[in-house]
Amino acid sequence: MKELEKTYDPSGIEGKLYQKWLDKKYFHAKPNKDKKPFTIVMPPPNITGHLHMGHALDNTMQDILIRYKRMQGFEALWQPGTDHAAIATEVKVIESLRAQGIEKADLGRDGFLEKCWDWRKDYGSRIINQLHKMGSSADWDRERFTMDEGCSEAVQEVFIRLYKKGYIYKGSRIVNWCPVCQTSISDAEVEHEDQNGFFWHINYPIAGEEGRFVEIATTRPETLLGDTAVAVNPDDERYQDLIGKMLILPLTGREIPVIADSYVDKEFGTGCVKITPAHDPNDFEVGRRHQLPELTIMNDDATICLAGSKYNGMERYEARKAIVKDLEDSGLLVKVVPHSHAVGTHDRCKTTVEPMVKQQWFVKMEEMAKPAIEALKTGKLKFVPERFDKIYLHWLENIRDWCISRQLWWGHRIPAYYCDKCHEIIVSKDSPDVCPKCGGTHFTQDEDTLDTWFSSALWPFSTLGWPENTEDLKYFYPTSVLVTGYDIIFFWVIRMVFSGIEQTGELPFHTVLIHGLVRDSEGRKMSKSLGNGIDPLEVIDKYGADALRMTLITGNAPGNDMRFYWERVEASRNFANKVWNASRFIMMNIEKAPDAKAQLTELTMADKWILSKANTLARDVTENLDKYELGIALSKVYDFIWEEFCDWYIEMVKPRLWNEEDTTKNAAVWTLKTVLINSLKLLHPYMPFLTEEIFCNLSEEEESIMISKWPEYREEFAFEADELAVETIKEAVRGIRNVRTSMNVPPSKKAKVYVVSENQDVLDIFERSKVFFAALGYAGEVCIQKDKAGIGEDAVSAVIHQAVIYMPFAELVDVEKEIERLKKEEERLNKELDRVRTMLSNEKFVSKAPEAKIEEEKAKLEKYAQMMEQVKERLSQLS
């Protein structure tokens, strides 16, 4: 057995151990008919990304589950990979090129894509390498990329299948448009932030009724140019006579109708809503219901596109100012009211998103949503915690067709070809030879690429070889659990669910474990703008990966946000030191009795107690982990190791270990080793490096804790009576320590301890535990008796269940010295009381001092008075 270093230094062991795990292929999983599979797919981080606290939490939770299941004997696969992150990568590459004086257009599509692949080569593995430092035990031999050959094959296959089924179509619908990046973007890429703006109230004249108007209110007056109706609620009595009439659209002279639609909220604003179908998603739906024209009034760069108009060519906000001024000049601007509202911005370039009707590729969602809804309602799919069921259902039950095309070059190019002669669309993996409609032989592929979420929606099965029916797919799919944050339930989780059902006939996973965000110590979201982000690698460099992992899971509850405190990291580091030092102590004693073995009949009451507690712990932690209560399980392991094992049991057995003549020494050593090994195994998923280093130096039978057997509950280790007995001893020890603390008795001062009880069973408990009870209770001698015979009247006591503990007062305290000390304390308190009373009776002080200062002095007066009362009472007792 190799001796552990005196101090625990994570920097000296973590890299070495991780390389060992990689070299030994401990992370690798393969189909095994003798084992059950357990599979997790890693949410693929972007190749533009770097490790942040959200990644650290997400991957720590996954690693805990994988390590736990691996030890339980499952063939545990944690499938890793990275996402091409279409728009994020394209933006980064464009920025990099511009810094070199190169524009994207100068390179052409193929030249630009070469630069993107170079970027992927240089930066694609950066976050993966950082995850190595976290101790992530993913199967890196299987690492995938959303644009590798296999995943690209799956993307094309799904597109073609859905197109042939009629679920994919090209058409004009409203999308999120980024005027800077010049592409449609997904809902996931739109950040809604509250901004201070205005409600502009505008009068729309009623045609043919001079002097009569309809008042509307809008936050975007520039979109007035694209209005094709004004809507009122059909039940709004105020406007019944207006329905069907025509209005004159200000500044344009166009006439638009007043329509009735229940979308309008009677209580909001004026109850009259301008309808701009081409520039508002809700208006778009209203427009389709009423067959309204969809008038696009902006170019792709958000300049006004209205030939013949004075606003033509103006930037949208420039046009807004001009329109507001013209409305004011024409007397149609009623008022301007300050209004704070949510504005959608592109998360990459921070530009305000412009809703626009565009020709795009869409996926029909109504039919595919149905089985995804059914899966949750029938219990086949489960969210932890369950409260996220509502969000999932709300999104699916109100789902709109999904825009999947992007005006980018980096990504999966849409497998659609246009006949140059008749413009027929042919969807296929390769360019067709002949147009089936006109016989043409020249084709142009669609310029657009697919939404990144389209490929990541296939991640659970595309990474296992689908569309081929591979052995990996048959064995590891469906996967077991998905771990992810609540912020992407709609964008990723739901798409994986309906895609998995549609393409494989099965759910991609049965459980979704949702975690919250890691916030700063003040509860704020970590962000670059606030400058409050904390780099996980900085934490690892300073305290080690185990300390960071433990901090992220301590107190963690599914779905809830958590706050990051440096003090918690230090506490986690201190716990690691505690485990290390306890292990060193145990291993030094094992060396004195290396072959120590024990039959259950040879175990003492204390041995049976700690074995029973460890046995119950294994059962409870297993139950917690099976319920995904990772934080609760960690709390139980922590409390057991720190308190029960280190602070109690190790102290209990020290007298036996140090007494060469003690016949129970072997039992003590065997128990220490057994409980330590099982404790390390229960702790391993949380703190893999610490536990591996200790285990590999402690155990000669097994080469790694990673592949050791998870502790299981054993009936023969259930010692309920011994647990109750030791709890009685602990209660007595706590009572003795409380009394001694209240009397300022140092631990070095030994005293005779009397245990008095009329219950013979209680007396027997103390008789059997005399040796360690004396050590824990700082007793020079322990007397166990049925009555108070021989106990002086001056003895102090501690009452426990069915017994009283007595200690002679004179053995605890040197009366003369204590009286001297108390009189000095009395003198000090008198001075403090005089000072405070003088200050509070000074009218000048009371009239001028801040209220907080006065309250502070009053609190001191109360505190000193209580202390003085206690000192006098103590002096009276001693006299």
d(CA 678, CA 687): 14
d(CA 574, CA 544): 12
Cα 300 to its chain centre, rounded Å, is 37
Q: Which of 456, 410, 515 shows the shortest CA–CA distance to 90?
A: 410
Could you say which DSSP state residue 564 is in?
-
Q: Does residue 37 have a cis bond before it (omega within 30 degrees)?
A: no
d(CA 711, CA 707): 12
Residue 791's H or E segment, with its range, is none
Alpha-carbon distance values, 683 to 77, 639, 711 (Å): 20, 11, 11
Could you say which DSSP state residue 875 is in?
H
Cβ atoms of 780 and 751 closer than 8 Å: yes
Alpha-carbon distance values, 325 to 13, 203, 207, 698 (Å): 70, 14, 23, 82
Q: Does residue 508 have a cis bond before it (omega within 30 degrees)?
A: no
328: Cβ contacts below 8 Å, ≥ 6 apart: none
Query: Checking DSSP bridges between strand 449-450 and strand 443-445, what pairing results, if any?
Result: unpaired
d(CA 65, CA 69): 6
Alpha-carbon distance values, 334 to 204, 260, 321, 331, 379 (Å): 10, 24, 16, 8, 55
Sign of CA dihedral 28, 30, 34, 40: positive
Give every strand in the sheet of 229-232, ordered side by side.
Answer: 246-248, 255-260, 229-232, 272-275
Residue 47, both tokens: 């190749």
d(CA 112, CA 86): 13
Q: 512 phi and psi, to 5 degrees?
A: -120, 115
Cβ atoms of 186 and 200 closer than 8 Å: no
Q: Which of 153, 700, 705, 826 shows the shortest CA–CA distance to 430?
A: 153
Residue 676's H or E segment, with its range, is helix 665-683
Q: Which of 708, 539, 562 shows the shortest CA–CA distance to 631?
A: 562
Cβ atoms of 495 and 502 closer than 8 Å: no
Cβ atoms of 691 and 705 closer than 8 Å: yes
Residue 689's H or E segment, with its range, is helix 688-698
Strand partners, 82: 145
Residue 514's H or E segment, with its range, is strand 511-515
| Known binding-site residue numbers | 528
Could you say which DSSP state residue 766 is in?
H
Region of 776 on the Ramachandran plot (φ > 0 left; ψ -120 to 50 alpha; else beta): alpha
Q: 3-state class of 208 per DSSP?
A: coil
Cβ atoms of 415 and 160 closer than 8 Å: yes
Cβ atoms of 276 and 314 closer than 8 Å: no
| Known binding-site residue numbers for ATP | 528
Strand partners, 481: 511
